[in-house]
Structure 1
Amino acid sequence: MAGGEPSGTSGGEPARTAGGPGRRLVLAAGLGLATAAAGLTAGAPRASAAATAITGTKVRNLTGPAETGQFAAPWTDLGIPVRCPDGTMLFVCGDTFDGDGVGGPNWRAPVGLRARHPDLNALVIDDSVGGSQAVGLVPEGHENNTTAIPSDVFTVGNTMYMHLMRGVLYQTHHSDFWRSTDNGQTWQYLCQWPGDQYGGQFQQKTYAVADDGYAYVLSSVFNRDVPSDLLLHRVPQDRLGDPAAYQPWGYANGAWAWGNYPTTITARRRFGEICFRAMGGKYALTWLNMEPLDIRAQVFPLPTSNLFATPEQTLIVPTTPGNESGNAVANPYGGFIVPGSTFGNFHIAVSQWYDNQNYRVMQYRINGLAA
Structure 2
Amino acid sequence: MHGSSRNRTTPTTPTTPTTPTTPAGPSRRSLLRSSAGAALGVTALAGVTGPAQSAAAAPRAITGTKIRNLTGPAETGRFAAPWTDLGIPVRCPDGTLLHVCGDTFDGDGVGGPDWRSPVGLRSSGSDLDGGLVIDGSVGGEHAVGLVPEGHEGGTTAIPSDVFTIGDTMYMHLMRGVIYQTHHSDFWRSTDNGETWEYLCQWPGDALGGQFQQKTYAVADDGWCYVLSTVFNRDTVSGLLLHRVRHEQVGDPAAYEPWGHDGDWAWGNPPTTVTGARRWGEICLRAMGGRYAFTYLHHQPDEISIRAQIFDLPTSDLFRTPEQTLILPTVPGSEDGNRVANPYGGWVYPGAAFDNFHIAVSQWYDDQNYRVMQYRIDGLEV
Residue 126 of structure 2 is aligned to residue 118 of structure 1: yes
Instruction: Name the residue aligned to 1:166.
Output: 175
> Closer, same or farther in 2 for the Cα pair 1:173/1:362, shift >3 Å?
same
Normalised by the length of structure 2, the TM-score is 0.88
The separation in 2 between residues aligned to 1:329 and 1:189, in whole angstroms, is 36
The separation in 2 between residues aligned to 1:210 and 1:85, in whole angstroms, is 17
Q: Where do residues 17-56 of structure 1 align in structure 2 (5 Å cutoff)?
A: 21-25=28-32, 32-36=38-42, 39-40=43-44, 47-48=49-50, 53-56=61-64
1:122 CA displacement? 2.7
> Closer, same or farther in 2 for the Cα pair 1:162/1:169, shift >3 Å?
same
Instruction: Name the residue aligned to 2:114.
Output: 106
> Closer, same or farther in 2 for the Cα pair 1:338/1:26, shift >3 Å?
farther
Q: Which amino acid letter does the alignment assign opposite residue 35 of structure 1?
A: G
Instruction: Name the residue aligned to 2:328.
Output: 318
Question: Deviation string for 1:43-65 (max 9, x for gaps)?
Answer: 67962467651000100000000
Residue 262 of structure 2 is aligned to residue 262 of structure 1: no
Instruction: Name the residue aligned to 1:300.
Output: 310
The separation in 2 between residues aligned to 1:204 and 1:174, in whole angstroms, is 10
Contact preservation (8 Å) 2:161, 2:214: yes
SS in 1 for 2:306: strand
The separation in 2 between residues aligned to 1:27 and 1:46, in whole angstroms, is 27
2:138 to 129, 139, 151: 129
Deviating beyond 3 angstroms after TM superposition, the runs of 4 or more aligned structure 1 residues are 26-29, 31-34, 43-46, 48-52
Residue-pair matches, total = 347
The answer for unaligned runs of 5 or more in structure 2 is: 1-25, 51-55
Q: Which amino acid letter does the alignment assign opposite residue 32 of structure 2?
A: L
Instruction: Name the residue aligned to 1:197.
Output: 206
1:245 to 226, 248, 254: 254
Structure with more contact order per residue of length (Cα contacts < 8 Å, sep ≥ 6) = 2
1:33 CA displacement? 3.9
Instruction: Name the residue aligned to 2:68.
Output: 60
Contact preservation (8 Å) 2:248, 2:254: yes
> Closer, same or farther in 2 for the Cα pair 1:32/1:234, shift >3 Å?
closer
Question: Deviation string for 1:131-184 (max 9, x for gaps)?
Answer: 000000000000000000000000000000000000000000000000000000
SS in 1 for 2:41: helix
The separation in 2 between residues aligned to 1:140 and 1:279, in whole angstroms, is 33
Normalised by the length of structure 1, the TM-score is 0.91
The separation in 1 between residues aligned to 2:288 and 2:60, in whole angstroms, is 23
1:309 CA displacement? 0.8
The separation in 2 between residues aligned to 1:210 and 1:34, in whole angstroms, is 39
The answer for unaligned runs of 5 or more in structure 1 is: 1-12
> Closer, same or farther in 2 for the Cα pair 1:34/1:176, shift >3 Å?
closer
Percent identity, aligned pairs only, is 72
Q: Which amino acid letter does the alignment assign opposite residue 91 of structure 1?
A: H
Question: Deviation string for 1:212-257 (max 9, x for gaps)?
Answer: 10000000000000010000000000001000000000000x2111
Instruction: Name the residue aligned to 1:369.
Output: 379
Instruction: Name the residue aligned to 1:288.
Output: 296
Provide the aligned C-alpha RMSD in A: 1.7
